Amino acid sequence: MVLKKEVLKDPARVPETEQAVFAAGCFWGVQLAFQRVPGVVRTTVGYTMGRFSNPTYEEVCSGVTGHTEAVHVVFRKAEISYEELLTVLWDRMDPTAKDHQGNDYGTQYRSGIYFLTNEQKAIALKSKAKIQEKYSAEIATEVLPAQHFWPAEDYHQHYLAKLGQSHEKGVCTAIRCYG
């Protein structure tokens, strides 16, 4: 996976961190959910799994780029495990919904776990199998090797926190998707 330099700067300066990339519909609520998790150092919303370089929000929403809205998560493994991050992800979405979450429809809203290591792949596949036991419908969440992650425009970063929703660690209040 290739990340822009500005995404990699902070993880390199924060010792003993790992990275993860997840998609679960509109990235605003997903980002806020992960921001609240103790052990998460940084989150960045952006686009991944598409065919074009440096896509814009408008291009991604058109459906022609193939990208999905995603969140890049930097976390301290000593404080939170990848498995625990997957629990946050599964709780944030309907994993049986194909190409949508809630009222948002389109391939850019598909759900996915994009692994960076073989260990993450194994953990993700095991977690997906365990979640499947809870549903009669097939899990639509894709588990694929991470590709290039393009950070979204600045106005999308921490969007819900900018609108006043708490991003403090450990907060459990409901996340309102549009403010």
Identify the burial level of 6 via C-beta atoms within 10 angstroms of its C-beta, where 0-12 means exposed, 13-18 middle and 19 or more buried. exposed
Residues 66, 143, 117, 11: what is their CA dihedral angle, to the nearest 10 degrees? 60
**C-alpha radius of gyration, the chain, whole number:** 15
Q: Confirm whether 172 is a catalytic residue.
A: no
Among residues 26, 61, 172, 177, the one annotated as catalytic is 26
Answer yes or no: are the C-beta atoms of 128 and 113 closer than 8 Å.
Answer: yes
**Cα angle at 146 between 117 and 56, to 5 degrees?**
155
So which residues are the catalytic ones?
A: 26
